[in-house]
Amino acid sequence: MAILPLKRREFISMLAASAALAQQKQDEVIATATQDATPRVGIVLSSFAGGEEHDGTKLAGLPEPKPVDAELDDKFIDVWVRKAIEMGSTRAAELRQMIEPEDWVAVKVNIAASWGADSGGASGAKFIPGSISDLRVVRSVIRYLAEHNCGSRITLVEGSEHWPPAERAQSAADGWSTDWGGAFGGLSYRKMVQELAKEFPKIRFEILDANFAPSVDLPAPGRSGAPVYTIARILQQCDKLISIAPLKTHRRTGVALTFSNYAGFAPGSKYGFPKDALWKLAPPEQVLLDLFHFHPADFSILGGPAGIEGDGPEGPGASTVRYNLLVTGAKAVSVDAVAAALMGYDPATIPYLQLGEELGSYGTMTVDYVWTRGDEIEKARRPFRKPPAWKPAPRPAGA
């Protein structure tokens, strides 16, 4: 009989369970458990000049802080991203210690729209600055991983609701190949992967369009009576998953942050363009939680130099917010809750955060219970104009 090897996450879970039973040093365990159970979320404006932890520990700021509305060059963005990753890391380990050298790392980017290079206009949903992950932020995250030997295979993933790959649409460009009209210094995702492959030849870099990638049909884990979803196989197979998305409002869910980014794992080849059939399976907040539950984000990075407010992300009432802010962390519910609060929302009125908190493992939506690091929430708060059609849910009792 063949013996199947344990998956890495199963092996790690077994080690963690054994370690938990091995020692019972009560005072130390209680203190450590309390600290580790408190979600950490980094808040870093481009103006961050330093601060203090809640326990009084000094935090170094950015070497050359810039105003929150300043134009940022590539060098500054790289330093800024690394500071944000540092601020959002857990007490137990920094991001670089969470990823093994041999891991397959999926980096889920958000490319809600594409710029049509052939016509000089939009292809599918209209591209508005702030409506997609900033490519320079993405590049800095991947360079951080590569420099710290985090992963032997790094895959950029997206399955947009609004554009298919160029070869299927018979167009000159798509979200992977467009240069965005020069919005990111002429950078495209394909160019990024080519440059990274030359810079770090020992790592396999690749692009995966989840709309037409190999997929699998599965019921949502941990929920009886859940519908069967078609998901890109990478969501099951990758070892680690990092979600990178801008700060956006959305008429369907109020905000579009880490959890909304998971809609990109549901293939358009199954659910259509846009993915109307996906949103018929359950209420939108439940669909997002179900998709997230297949492989919760190991680390979330939200924000960048621009975001979207109003009837976002592609509606006629959407507009760009120029605001240099990054929000990071390993507990996605808390990361999204802090980001929503910074955008002027009450996190307790956002349905998917209510459901996410009930799962218990991904943080709390109560911002007062989150260990924020970097800039103070009140200093970093910048209310975003909300979608007119979105209505907040009632606050849960006791929230």
Per DSSP, the residues of 57-79 read -EEE--SS---TTS---HHHHHH
Please give the mean pLDDT across all residues of the chain: 88
Total count of domains within the chain: 1
Is the predicted pLDDT of residue 246 greater than 70, yes or no? yes
Do the Cβ atoms of 107 and 154 come closer than 8 Å?
Answer: yes
Tens digits of residue pLDDT in 329-377: 999 999 999 999 999 999 999 999 999 999 888 999 999 999 999 999 9
pLDDT at 119: 36
Tens digits of residue pLDDT in 144-189: 999 999 999 999 999 999 888 888 877 778 999 999 989 999 999 9
Is 33 among the domain residues? no
Q: Is the pTM of the predicted complex or chain greater than 0.75?
A: yes
- Separation of alpha carbons 301 and 314, rounded Å: 21
Do the Cβ atoms of 81 and 140 come closer than 8 Å?
Answer: yes
| 6 pLDDT tier (thresholds 50, 70, 90) | very low
Is the predicted pLDDT of residue 26 greater than 90, yes or no? no
Is 175 among the domain residues? yes
- Separation of alpha carbons 196 and 1, rounded Å: 43
Is 29 among the domain residues? no
Tens digits of residue pLDDT in 147-158: 999 999 999 999
pLDDT at 313: 66
**Coil, strand, or helix at residue 42?**
strand
Is 269 among the domain residues? yes
Count CA atoms closer than 13 A to 137's CA, side-chain side: 32
Is 11 among the domain residues? no
Residue 334's φ and ψ, nearest 5 degrees, are -70, -40
- Separation of alpha carbons 51 and 86, rounded Å: 14
| 117 pLDDT tier (thresholds 50, 70, 90) | very low
pLDDT at 168: 85
> What is the torsional sign of CA 361, 363, 369, 373?
positive
**Helix, strand, coil fractions of the chain, as percent rounded to 5:** 35, 20, 45
CA dihedral 87, 92, 93, 98 (to 10 degrees): -120
Q: At what angle do helices 189-199 and 135-147 cross, to 10 degrees?
A: 20
Q: What number of other Cβ atoms are within 10 A of residue 107's Cβ? A: 25
Which ranges of 42-155 would DSSP assign to H, the alpha helix? 74-88, 95-98, 135-147
Q: Any residues with CB less than 8 A from the CB of 55 and at least 6 apart, and which?
A: none
Count CA atoms closer than 13 A to 113's CA, side-chain side: 24
Is 9 among the domain residues? no
pLDDT at 314: 65
Do the Cβ atoms of 91 and 36 come closer than 8 Å?
Answer: yes
pLDDT at 36: 53
| 270 pLDDT tier (thresholds 50, 70, 90) | very high
Query: 120: phi > 0 → left, psi -120 to 50 → alpha, else beta; which?
Result: left
pLDDT at 29: 29
pLDDT at 169: 78
Do the Cβ atoms of 117 and 178 come closer than 8 Å?
Answer: yes
Which ranges of 241-398 would DSSP assign to H, the alpha helix? 258-261, 268-271, 284-294, 332-342, 351-359, 377-380
Encoded amino acid at 335, one letter: V
pLDDT at 121: 39
Greater confidence, 214 or 34?
Answer: 214
Cα-to-chain-centroid distance, residue 54? 25
Is 83 among the domain residues? yes
Do the Cβ atoms of 279 and 287 come closer than 8 Å?
Answer: yes
- Separation of alpha carbons 324 and 213, rounded Å: 34
Any idea how long the chain is? 399
Any idea what DSSP says for residue 4? Answer: P
Give me the domain span that covers residue 286.
40-380
Is the predicted pLDDT of residue 33 greater than 50, yes or no? no
Is 166 among the domain residues? yes
Q: Any residues with CB less than 8 A from the CB of 99 and at least 6 apart, and which?
A: 105, 145, 150, 151, 239, 240, 298
Is the predicted pLDDT of residue 315 greater than 90, yes or no? no
Find the range with the poorest average confidence among 1-10, 72-81, 112-121: 1-10
The two structure tokens encoding residue 242 = 């990092």
